[in-house]
Chains A and B, each alone.
Chain A
Amino acid sequence: MAAWDMKARGIGGALLVAYVVLFFVYLESPLVFILLASFNKGLTVRFPPSGFSLQWYSALWDLVREVPGVKPGLVDAVVTSIWLGLASTAGALIAGTLAGFALYRLRFPGRQALRQLFLLPLLFPQIVTGIGLVLWFSRIGGVPTWLRLLLGHLILTLPYVVVTVTASLETLDVRLEEAAMNLGAGRVATFFLITVPGIRSGLMAGAIFAWLTSFSNFTVTFFLFSGEVQPLPPWLYQIMQYFIDPSIAALSTCVLLITLAVLLIMNRLLALGRLVGLSQ
């Protein structure tokens, strides 16, 4: 039986609803304003908007080919980010699923400590990760940029996969696996035939989280990129140093829309609430 529901009653309830609405307006406002700015007519972004124009999207299209003075171009940066995202997601998926399974289904000494260790990069200061990796790479020498970025991103994305996989594992009844083994399936077969399909939604959510994290990461990437291999966020930063014109807004809007679309898809697969620690 639900507790006395105050949502619709009285001043207190109405105030709370009003506040929440305002709050979420505040939370989403930078994104909304980028969207508005991308349609700005004229160079200076002013509000109320003086006009509505698609000029920046066409400027963006020009930018797609080459930005004078900054190599590589936008397309290269986007492609780099996409590939980096895919690679680190793939790695994180494999490592994360295996680790998640081991940490939450098997028993062995030091399990608790390892569980914490795998979640550490989530809250570890990214700047320290970045600096530490730079020092380490320069110490051992000869590490190509792509590998540096990949390792850095793997560290970032691995915990997300572990979190979603374990959240999924918790909902998957252990008894299904036990039943399979009772019917003669070995551990490996059980894993691939029962466990993996069972946590399918967790895997997909983890993959999406991982990819998004990698795609939007700035801090660690900032310390590891180079002139040749430059993912999107550091590229954006350098552009922003030189020109803050609304074509950035246009670009940002595109990226935002992609992110939003991906998130909406993921929301269908696995309720976001569970993943961030809320009971469902």
Chain B
Amino acid sequence: MHRRRAVRVWPAFALLSPGLLILASLVAACAILLRYSFNDWDPVRTMVPAWTAKNYLNLFLDPAQQRAAVTTLRISVIVTVACLFLGYPVALAMTRAGRYRGLLVFLLVTPMLTDVLIRAYGWIVMLGSAGPVNAIMVGLRLWPAPRRLIYTEFSVVLELIHEMVPFMVLPLTAVIERIDPALRDAAMNLRASPLRSFLHVTLPLSLPGILAGTLLVFALSMSAFVAPLVLGGGNVTVMTVLMRQTMFATLDWPRGAAQSVFLVGIVLVLLLFYRRALGGQRRTA
């Protein structure tokens, strides 16, 4: 009995071992973060092994931390809402694109795989004082003079929206295309115009997708690092930027570890709900 069970598990374990080894590094990194977050720190002795909760308390009490948290929250909410409204029509279009769908998917996914730094640089070019955005706004007489757009929270938000919108479109598309097309036909047969059949049938049934996309984009926005770093130019301090300062400028490792654990905790919770939102897919249509 015992031997038979071992035989079945062993091949799987052997196959998984290289992968598990790699993941073990990540697990080890997390373990260290967890441990260090309880350590103490002072400018003289740097990190001191201890079991203190002060780093976590600081997350809520320290004003710089609070400001960073508020900024992060504000940016994430704006980005998420913008992505939802910008992305939903795109998801709709993708489900109806027919033979153009492959092209749309390609156009959507390509920016995601290009160097994020290069994309950020692209935004610097676009938003510069002599750049196209300013040129258009001034040319159309909407602005009296070129405005400084880069190295502001505005530019960070713009770049993040750009980065995140595919992550909103993809879960939405996956959910919407699983909606039984007969339902829309039925609605229209029951005297609902295309707009009303969208509002009463498609939209409610796409709610899991909206939920999933929102959670995903929110989680990713909170963990974004490059956009605030490069396009913020030091003016936009979100939690990730603060973490880098803590780690490399102040060298307060325990605090940096606590910040990391905090961020991971929030993101993992959000992702858990994201999975749940998509998991409920089996039932509809």
A and B touch in the complex (CB under 8 A): yes
- Which of B50-58, B60-68, B73-81, B223-231 is near enough to bind chain A? B223-231
B157 interface contact, C-beta 8 A: no
Find out whether the CB atom of B225 lies under 8 angstroms from the CB atom of A31. no
Find out whether the CB atom of B109 lies under 8 angstroms from the CB atom of A154. no
A182 interface contact, C-beta 8 A: no
Find out whether the CB atom of A158 lies under 8 angstroms from the CB atom of B12. no
Find out whether the CB atom of A131 lies under 8 angstroms from the CB atom of B243. yes
Give how many A-B residue pairs fall within 8 Å (CB-CB). Answer: 277
B204 interface contact, C-beta 8 A: no
A109–B6 alpha-carbon span in the complex (Å): 11
A103–B23 alpha-carbon span in the complex (Å): 15
Query: What is the CB-to-nearest-CB distance from A133 to chain B, in angstroms, rounded to a whole number?
Result: 5
- Using A47-B132, A279-B177 as known contacts, say yes or no to A30 and B107 having CB atoms under 8 A apart: no
Main DSSP-derived SS at the A contact region: helix
Mark out the residues of chain A between 113 and 139 whose CB falls within 8 Å of any chain B CB in the assembled complex: 114, 116-118, 120-121, 123-129, 131-136, 139
Main DSSP-derived SS at the B contact region: helix
Mark out the residues of chain B between 143 and 158 whose CB falls within 8 Å of any chain A CB in the assembled complex: none
- Which of A58-66, A67-75, A91-99, A173-181 is near enough to bind chain B? A91-99
User: Which residues of A line the B interface, CB within 8 A?
Assistant: 2-7, 10, 12, 16-17, 19-20, 23-24, 26-31, 33-34, 37, 44-48, 91-92, 94-96, 98-99, 101-103, 106-109, 114, 116-118, 120-121, 123-129, 131-136, 139, 151, 154-155, 158, 162, 187, 209, 212-213, 215-216, 218-219, 222, 232-233, 236-237, 240, 244, 248-249, 252, 255-256, 259-260, 263, 267, 271-273, 276-279
Given contacts A26-B162, A33-B126, 20 further A-B contacts (CB under 8 A): A2-B98, A4-B184, A20-B89, A24-B104, A29-B122, A30-B126, A44-B130, A45-B125, A46-B131, A95-B22, A98-B16, A106-B11, A109-B9, A125-B263, A126-B223, A136-B28, A218-B225, A218-B226, A244-B124, A278-B174
